[in-house]
Amino acid sequence: MSNSRVVAVSRDAEHRFTKINQDAIRLLTGLGVEGDAHLGVTVQHLSRIAQDPAQPNLRQVHLIHDELFTELRAAGYEIAPGDLGENVTTHGVDLLGLPTGTRLHLGPDAVVEITGLRNPCRQIDRFRGGLLKHVVGRDEAGRTVRRSGVMGVVLADGDVRPGDLVGVHLPAAPHRPLERV
């Protein structure tokens, strides 16, 4: 995974679907992305706040693999980093294949622990009609397959920039597959 890297970093202080690309973002331990609407110890997604505002924020950082955008372009969708609301766009990392608890070292200092899969909602179809069916589907056994990235919590502060390397550190076995968070 030596060519695993950060392609783009994004944030938005407002609760909008798309995030704005930045030259750098700062990750804050236990909180998320400085200046982002989802920063906090407790859940910050509006639908989750409505359910239970005291839930821990397991969705501090949203990561998507750049390879998904290539697949979506082949299906006729022009999607760029930040468009799907992610904070970090990676290349060369099989994010969806990682087990729960994997630690991603982003750049020289930041560490994010993967908590689970992003569960995209219908907002994605408001962004681009028909897109939801390309990022959520079913496997041959009829199980739901979510492909719109992973969520994580910040374990170590650090600045993250496009071009930074991504180090992948798997948790001890047995590995638990990612579930939606």
* CATH code, 60: 2.40.33.20
In a domain, residue 177? The reply is no
Q: Are 82 and 162 in contact (CB under 8 A)?
A: no
**Given the DSSP bridges, would you call strands 61-65 and 88-91 parallel, antiparallel or unpaired?**
parallel
In a domain, residue 32? The reply is yes
* Residue 1: pLDDT band with limits 50, 70, 90: very low
Q: Are 107 and 159 in contact (CB under 8 A)?
A: yes
In a domain, residue 178? The reply is no
Q: Are 60 and 87 in contact (CB under 8 A)?
A: no
Number of folded domains that form the chain: 1
> Per-residue pLDDT averaged across 135-140, rounded?
94
In a domain, residue 174? The reply is no
Integer Cα distance of 59 and 112 in angstroms: 11
In a domain, residue 73? The reply is yes
Block residue for tokens 């990676």 = 90
In a domain, residue 54? The reply is yes
Q: What percent of the chain has pLDDT above 70?
A: 99
In a domain, residue 181? The reply is no
Which residues form the domain of 111?
5-169
| Token code pair at residue 96 | 């969806």
Q: What is the pLDDT of residues 37-72, one digit of tens each?
A: 999 999 887 777 778 888 999 999 999 999 999 999
Q: What is the pLDDT of residues 68-90, one digit of tens each?
A: 999 999 999 999 999 999 999 99
List of residues 6+ apart from 150 with CB closer than 8 A? 62, 63, 95, 96, 98, 114, 115, 116, 117, 118, 178
pLDDT at 44: 84
The closest alpha carbon to 44, from 29, 55, 30, belongs to: 55
Determine the length of the chain: 181
pLDDT at 5: 98
In a domain, residue 151? The reply is yes
Q: Are 166 and 89 in contact (CB under 8 A)?
A: no
Integer Cα distance of 152 and 113 in angstroms: 5
